[in-house]
Structure 1
Amino acid sequence: MPVTLSDIRFRYDAHGPYVLDGLDLTIPDGQLIALMGPSGSGKTTLLQIIGGLLRPTGGTADVTASRDETRWVFQTPTLLAHRSVRHNIDIALMGDGWDERSRGARVERMIRDMRLEGLADTDVNLLSGGQRQRVQIARALASEPPLVLADEPTGQLDHATTGVVLDAIRAAHRRGTTIVIVTHDPYVAARCERVVTLEDGRVSSDEPGGHARRGPA
């Protein structure tokens, strides 16, 4: 298993309450999983433990992908300022074993997949929030990494654009990338193959994904 979490406990303060309290979770290789639950249930904290940004207070977290191999999609896009859309995606492939021709073709593919064709040479500082998010997602998926962790990746996107992004995410999943998405949106969860719900710092349900209408983000 690329992600195996056993009896995970976490609190931000030595005397504070546990955000995660005895959580167990395994994620098989190449799975597309949604993490859901009310605010404060520990979703983002769990994502950060999987990604190595936080160390658990107790329990064991075994993640086969290293921090260098893990790609992130944050709620607020983190891009190279005053650089083009194309450059921001291309940077993810530099030094990652891609030759120049393959790299160029991959960048153009991600631009098409994210419906950014007319913006490829635009400074990312001139883009809308939703467009910047699409660039961030394209960059995360471009190198076909083993693990992608996404924290509310579609929160700034409308329904149609969310569908475009999810198509690209599902394509990466079919190529073998393990993807974990924190979301409040049942439409997003329905497009995942597994939905894990957290409550009070533990897994309260673990079910296959399904079809649902989009609800409030």
Structure 2
Amino acid sequence: MPIELDNVTFRYGPQTPLVIDGMSFTVPHGQMLALMGPSGSGKSTLLQLIGGILRPTSGQINNSIPSHETTWVFQTPTLLNAQTVRHNIDIALYATGWSPKQQHARVETVIESVGLHGLGETGVSTLSGGQQQRVQIARALAAQPQLVLADEPTGQLDHTTTALVMDALIAARDAGTGIIIVTHDRYVAERCERIITLEDGHILSDEHRAEGSPT
């Protein structure tokens, strides 16, 4: 089922200005969408509304994807710092019903996909910020969820690693996962099949592109 926004508004308090002002659009199932715009345009707020962290002030959001089928990638990694890379990813697979052999193989696959080969037994507290972010992305993709919501997932990464991570996200999209990315990086946005640009809580443009086309 698609995600549908119908005339959605949001403000943080009764006397505060609207952060999202009358927004309507539909995200088809499995689409890879980038949300762009300057700081303060409402990108992260919109992502949290779609994911159910925030509730609209008015209007409706219809998102039938269950919470356990939605994973998040935040700007600051949320990891178990006393644990290894492998353990941090393993926890995303506990409820899948997969066998230990299947879980092990899947963890290896996603570790490889984000360029962390050989670091499975490394404690995440010893990793750089960019490496930790890649662990968070690998964990988000591990269980092959229906939807990934990512807030500046490549902000700490160099261009080569960003390209690698985008390849992994596109592969997840090709396998059926919908992905919505908040980003300031034009390269990241142009690897998506659709770019919605926001300004002052409104949609400035809605651009459909060739799917996953690199620049």
For 1:63 and 1:97, how far apart are their aligned partners in 2?
25
List 4+ stretches of structure 1 deviating above 6 A: none
TM-score of the aligned structures, taking structure 1 as reference length: 0.95
Identity of aligned residues (%): 60
What residue identity is the alignment partner of 1:36? M
Q: Equivalents in 1 of 2:64, 2:192: separation in Å?
A: 22
Q: Please name the residue that 1:172 is paired with.
A: 172
Cα deviation, 1:64-94, whole Å, max 9, x if unaligned, reads 1122221000000000121000111111001
Q: Which moved more, 1:62-71 or 1:147-156?
A: 62-71
Unaligned runs of 5+ in 1: none
Q: In the aligned structure 1, how far is the partner of 2:10 from the partner of 2:75?
A: 22
Once residues 86 and 104 of structure 1 are traced to their aligned partners in structure 2, the CA distance between those partners, rounded to angstroms, is: 9
Counterpart for residue 103 of structure 2: 103
Does residue 17 in structure 1 map to residue 17 in structure 2? yes
Cα gap change, 1:72 to 1:42, in 2 (>3 Å) = same
Q: 1:212 Cα deviation (Å)? A: 7.4
State the partner residue of 1:205: 205
Superimposed CA distance per residue, residues 126-150 of structure 1 (whole angstroms, 9 cap, x where no aligned partner): 0000000000000000100001000
Superposed, which structure 2 residues align to 1:53-202 within 5 Å? 53-202=53-202
How many pairs were matched up?
A: 213
The answer to whether the Cα contact below 8 Å between 1:189 and 1:209 also exists between their aligned partners in 2 is no
Q: Distance in 1 between matches of 2:31 and 2:4?
A: 13
Q: Which range is displaced more, 10-19 or 108-117? A: 108-117
The one-character-per-residue Cα deviations of 1:143-199 (angstroms, maximum 9, x if unpaired) are 000010000000000000001100000000000100000001100011000000111
**SS at 1:119's partner residue?**
coil
RMSD: 1.2
SS class of match (1:149):
strand
Task: State the AA in 2 paired with 1:19.
Answer: V
The answer to whether residue 60 in structure 2 is matched with residue 36 in structure 1 is no
Which range is displaced more, 138-147 or 59-68? 59-68
Distance in 1 separating the partners of 2:31 and 2:97: 24
In 2: Cα distance, 1:124 partner to 1:144 partner: 22
Structure 2: segments with no counterpart, 5+ residues: none
SS in 2 for 1:118: coil
C-alpha offsets along residues 37-64 of structure 1, whole Å, 9 cap, x if unaligned?
Answer: 1111110000001111000000001111
Shift of 1:118: 2.3
CA distance in 2, matches of 1:39, 1:76: 17
